[in-house]
Chains A and B, each alone.
Chain A
């Protein structure tokens, strides 16, 4: 370990927090924006530096551990303060339990041989890269977004300074969380992200926002309790660190940490807080509730996966993930609220990552990391697009996005890129879904759930893409005017999505496979799993490029060569109302004009939200309880 690495580590965690404090006390808007930009630049630079640097560990002096413990107590007290503020006895109870456990553990001693307090390994480097790059871009985006949001936000909303403080500070906490190995630090940052999430969801301070923020902190502090219990149980066996739990294969302690992960990643039956979190301004949804914070859960499980190969616990985690994937995909079909569809899809994809992690083979592991990366970037992009669209058309309903391609062609094309990356081979998402199914081959129940889920996802993506590309013929399009910060971030993210997506096969072959191999070194892997793993790395690259290129070239050629005189109105049994402006109207009784309109497919009679949610929650709860029963906790 050298000093530069330590400094970078410190910078990536403390840097954003210091910037955040500076932002909080800045009076001038311009200066504040510059500070946000500075924070974004610093974090992304350091994040990329850490991601590119070799693995390193930071061994603690004793003060580091004490600082962690102190900060964890501070955070717990903050949760208690919030509990008092929103008058929630349940949050208070959870906070108290945490406080008691943390204080008791201060007086207990762990192992004498202490591992690193902060770890830079493959997984945390991947996470730091995601958090820093996607996070920084979202910070920049939020400069433009908040400027507009201030105008039509309700009068009760908190100041933008507070918003930026928590948003920027969150990135530091998140980086700390993924780098921490010491359970004290882990707990402290875990609580910090929960608090950030609470404040940011409640930003507008409307009745609905307050209610949803309260629900978010209630459910997440339950997760916090689970994490603290896990840490406490680990301490009883002598490990004060996450790596210690893995070293001892302490399955009971880990089961509680996994529960905390399921809560934080909003898996069924804990999904309601994430759905409620969509009332927050869109950068919050993009940053916390799709790209980074919700990944903590899968990160915690993924980190532990190689240590618990073949356990029942991992099997159950795979089932919970797969069930969440299938259930949320079904639920998303019935939604016409775009942000809610994205939220359900986020939960579903996190479920799929849990599945891959739970399958616990090199193939599953590599699929999980791949899914994690591609999902963060694509979903972050989609949320930002959603925010831009919402600010422009004033609605988040899918049915209102009919002529989007004409109103805001640039954003629409970028949205399409984001959606395509969820659906089109060989983009990363589809590739990892493919790997997930192959990895799940040895456990039939998981397999069936994933198959059902992935069939259902097609339905809502196709519907949405179909709606936003619906357009009449226009000889040219005028690019809409949106603020430079929003536009540049969308463009950069879209570029990342396209390049990474098209290179997904290469990335998989040269990066994710190696990570998985390193993670599973020395672990027993069955022959058939290994054979699958090797075969998956050998898919050819050129046919995909050739045919996608073919389609694009042909499409672009057609785009520029078609003749406007060949444009015709749609077939409406010949009853079209003549005239170029009203081509979609048809004549009905007494020569009245009607707009030809058909709604999209929602299947509401089958996937009615409240009923489906109830049953799904029930089943998910049973699965989680049986998980605990299977490992002998209950």
Chain B
């Protein structure tokens, strides 16, 4: 019981803080890469605290409900993951969290926001199958859908059996982190194009809610990277951490080197190249007959 409470505390309290720090590091490293000093590492936390005390302006009340749903389902995703629950179910909950955000952008009569939502829907369409395939791959190599079995002692590191799926996941992750070239839906840099996309009509505390949900998501995404080398002992944990750090740097380099691409191009890229890559890996596992 007490173990569950500790896990819950990690999921609900520590995760957004770590996520915020990762986001802050991201901004700092990006700035350094561009030859700038960059903001303090705790900047995302300052941002959220500021947003919380701003005037809560809004367009309609449905929008607010969707923001809360986005946060609640994102938290639920993380709770399920940390409790070692079924990965596929966790994934569906996460998808619904994203859908809530999409709906939040759609339910206002703001053209920019709606276009952002539509692009976000396309992005969801682009990466969701990849993530499901990833979970299938995890099942094929571990014989279980349970997150707890992936990190169980004695399990084989996933990366060894799922190298191509890992690359595919990196792409899916780049979309979710809204990194170039995949940042069409809502980006810090794309304000000439669709202003701010999905989150355009959220302001003040409601935007803060979405930001917090984003911190949860950042933590979640990196936790999954860590899972790829997670059988529990100290040495392996170090490798897993290193893997997560590598993924982090990879995304920053990606963000800084690529220009933004059209939404449909991304869908095609994901469904043809990345999807095939992941499927190849899966077929290989089927042929090995590991289950």
Contact = CB atoms under 8 A, between A and B. Distances in A.
A444 B86 CA distance: 20
B96 interface: yes
B186 interface: no
A311 to B, nearest CB: 21
Contacts of A472: 59-60, 109
A598 to B, nearest CB: 4
B125 A458 contact: yes
B133 interface: yes
Given A466-B102, A543-B79, A562 B112 contact: no
Contacts of A447: 136
Interface in B56-107: 56-62, 64-65, 68-69, 71-73, 75-76, 79-80, 83, 85-86, 88-89, 92-93, 95-96, 99, 102-103, 105-107
A385 to B, nearest CB: 17
Contacts of A89: none
Interface in B145-167: 145-146
Interface string A525-556: 00010011001100110011001101100110
B110 A596 contact: yes
Contacts of A532: 145
A217 interface: no
B187 interface: no
Interface string A447-477: 1100110111011001101110111111000
A471 B62 contact: yes
A249 interface: no
Given A438-B88, A550-B72, A570-B201, A596 B56 contact: no
A240 to B, nearest CB: 42
A568 B99 contact: no
B163 to A, nearest CB: 19
Given A459-B125, A571-B195, A551 B72 contact: yes
A372 to B, nearest CB: 20
Contacts of A528: 143, 291
Interface string B120-131: 011011001100
Interface stretch (A285-293, A351-359, A423-431): A423-431
Contact of A568 (B59, B80, B112, B139): B59
A462 B66 CA distance: 12
Given A458-B125, A473-B60, A571 B65 contact: no
Interface centre among A444, A531, A558 (most CB of B within 10 A): A558
Contacts of A543: 76, 79-80, 83
B272 interface: no
Nearest to A475: B61
Given A544-B76, A597-B111, A469 B62 contact: yes
A103 interface: no
B282 interface: yes
Interface in A339-354: none
Q: How large is the interface on B (under 10, 10 to 19, 20 to 34, 35 or more residues)?
A: 35 or more
B108 A570 contact: yes
Contacts of A448: 279
A567 B56 CA distance: 9
A214 interface: no
A107 interface: no
A33 B14 CA distance: 61
B223 interface: no
A572 B110 contact: yes
B145 A535 contact: yes
A539 B86 contact: yes
A575 to B, nearest CB: 12
B114 interface: yes
B118 interface: yes
Nearest to A461: B99
Contact of A601 (B79, B86, B122, B136): B122
A455 B128 contact: yes
Contact of B72 (A454, A554, A558, A562): A554
Interface in A311-332: none
Nearest to A566: B57
B59 A469 contact: no
B42 interface: no
> Per DSSP, are chain B's interface residues mostly helix, strand or loop, or mixed?
helix
B38 to A, nearest CB: 28
B132 interface: yes
B283 interface: yes
A451 B134 CA distance: 11
B30 interface: no
B72 A462 contact: no
Given A444-B286, A548-B72, A555-B69, A471 B64 contact: no
A310 B108 CA distance: 51
A600 interface: yes
Contacts of B110: 570-572, 596
A459 B89 CA distance: 19
B226 to A, nearest CB: 21
Contacts of B139: 441
Contacts of A423: 96, 99
Contact of A558 (B65, B136, B200): B65
Contact of B59 (A456, A473, A563, A598): A473
B141 interface: no
A459 B121 contact: yes
Nearest to A470: B107
Contact of A425 (B89, B113, B114): B89
A462 B113 contact: no
A371 interface: no
A455 B126 CA distance: 9
Contacts of B99: 423, 458, 462
Contacts of A471: 60, 62, 107
A163 interface: no
A120 interface: no
Given A448-B279, A548-B72, A570-B59, A434 B92 contact: yes
Interface centre among B57, B61, B124 (most CB of A within 10 A): B61
A302 B195 CA distance: 52
B76 A438 contact: no
A608 to B, nearest CB: 15
Given A423-B99, A438-B145, A558-B61, 16 more contacts: A430-B96, A434-B92, A441-B139, A442-B291, A444-B283, A448-B279, A454-B132, A528-B143, A535-B144, A543-B76, A551-B71, A558-B68, A566-B55, A567-B58, A570-B113, A601-B118
- Kindly list the 10 A-B residue pairs having the minimum CB-CB distance in the complex, ordered from nearest: A466-B106, A570-B110, A551-B72, A555-B65, A547-B76, A469-B107, A554-B68, A598-B111, A601-B118, A598-B114
29 contacts: A423-B96, A424-B96, A425-B92, A430-B96, A438-B88, A438-B145, A441-B139, A462-B103, A463-B106, A469-B103, A471-B62, A528-B143, A528-B291, A531-B143, A543-B76, A547-B76, A551-B73, A555-B68, A559-B64, A562-B58, A563-B56, A566-B55, A568-B203, A569-B59, A570-B110, A571-B112, A571-B201, A598-B118, A601-B118
